[in-house]
Structure 1
Amino acid sequence: MATILHLDSSITGDNSVSRILSRSIVERLANAGPGTEVIQRDLVAAPISHLTLDAFADPSVLDEFLAADTVVIGAPMYNFTIPTQLKSWLDRILVAGKTFRYTENGPEGLAGGKRVIIALARGGFYGADSPASALEHTETYLRGVFGFIGIEPEFVAADGIAIGPEQRETSLAQALGDTEKLAA
């Protein structure tokens, strides 16, 4: 039986585009693999405390991550990067000797073989051709963090959602269409 760990980090509840997208991804993956177990973790409703030495010693979040075959993350862009709730979760899974190790040739990821799909929602446009591209620290950060532990994440993005209702609906429809391809 496959296990999907579903994480959401948006503070906007039912109005959240990243939550709509992550839910769609999880539903499609679960329907494609009957008997799939889904573990839901809402990082807003049940936040993980910011990193402290005592909190770092708690292995439960890391164990949950390592046990999952697929991880689906709803990640909105807040102030050009990820929400602090998601950063607190990442702080628990980036553990030397567990998900990466340092070698004479540089760091080596130890969590490869796991599928990570990230549902991004960004209020503006931050692509390479955009005047705001230098401010995009959500996808680049998550790509770097997961690459560091040996995982090449997949992304579904809805961009420009704060520009207006029509752009929001267009971006959401396009991104929901992209979620169909992930389960194929």
Structure 2
Amino acid sequence: MKLLHIDASALGAHSVSRGLTQAIVSEFVSHHPGTEVTYRDLHAAPLAHWGLPAGENDPNAAEAEKVMEEFLAADVVVIGAPMYNFSITSSLKAWIDRIAVAGKTFSYTANGPQGLAGGKRVIVASSRGGIYSAGPAAGMDFQEPYLRAVFGFLGVTDIEFVRAEGVAMGDEHKAQALETATAGIGGLLRKAA
């Protein structure tokens, strides 16, 4: 089994999403010995933002191809997605732009678009300073709906979220959010992979 581990937070050791992805990957590997893990840190080694389609003279073509190969080869993708300004980080968006490629991960048919990257399991570790899954701020959550939509467009139907919400609302709230998120990891891994 191949697992692709993606981190996108700019906060380094202070990142909640990085801690969650590490916990998810560690648990997953302990439950599935022999799992091959590929790691990509989108903040430490950012991808060029998408411009023109990759071609012979594109200096980013080789890296874009490697990103695509990592995604296509993965059975499980674990993504650290901190919420920045109600959405995802620009580094995660640059990665998504490199994997959302017509003819590779989706195609247009007479019946509309068809995802070509099905059969993968995507687990998103989402960290949020406030509460966006319910309540008055729910309408400002452009992170989770976007990720569900884009991976669904690519054909991924098995997408799950581990959320740590309210991490900027005080130490006690942060500790409770982390405890709840961490407790949810075990349930994800008990689910058939």
Give the shorter-chain TM-score range.
over 0.9
Q: 2:46 aligns to what? A: 47
- What does residue 160 of structure 1 align with? 166
Match status 1:12 vs 2:18: no
Give the Cα separation in 2 of the matches to 1:66 and 1:27. 22
Q: SS where residue 90 of structure 1 aligns?
A: helix
Amino acid at match of 1:22: T
Matches within 5 A, 1:115-154: 115-128=121-134, 130-152=135-157, 153-154=159-160
- Taking the aligned partners of 2:51 and 2:114, their CA distance within structure 1 comes to 25
What secondary structure does 1:59 align onto? helix
Deviations 1:50-97 (A, max 9, x none): 112234673111011001111000000000100000000000000101
Which of 167, 181, 184 is equivalent to 2:187? Answer: 181
- TM, length-normalised to structure 2: 0.91
Other structure's SS at 2:181 match: helix
Q: Distance in 2 between matches of 1:20 and 1:180?
A: 15
What is the rounded CA distance, in whole Å, between the counterparts of 1:155 and 1:70 in structure 2? Answer: 13
Q: Deviations over 1:90-129 (max 9, x none)?
A: 000001011111112111111000111000001101124x
User: Which residue identity does 1:165 align to in structure 2?
Assistant: D
Give the Cα separation in 1 of the matches to 2:33 and 2:168: 37
Q: CA RMSD in A?
A: 1.1
CA distance in 2, matches of 1:127, 1:75: 15
Please report the TM-score for the alignment, with normalisation by the length of structure 1. Answer: 0.96
Q: 1:14-63: per-residue Cα shift (whole Å, max 9, x none)?
A: 11111111111101111111111111111011111111223467311101
Specify the alignment match of 2:55 in structure 1: none
Identity of aligned residues (%): 54
Report the equivalent of 2:113. 107
Q: Confirm or deny: 8 A CA contact 1:5 1:65 kept in the other structure.
A: yes
**d(CA) in 1 for partners of 2:17, 2:71:** 20
Alpha-carbon shift at residue 182 of structure 1 (Å): 1.5
* Unaligned runs of at least 5 residues, structure 1: none
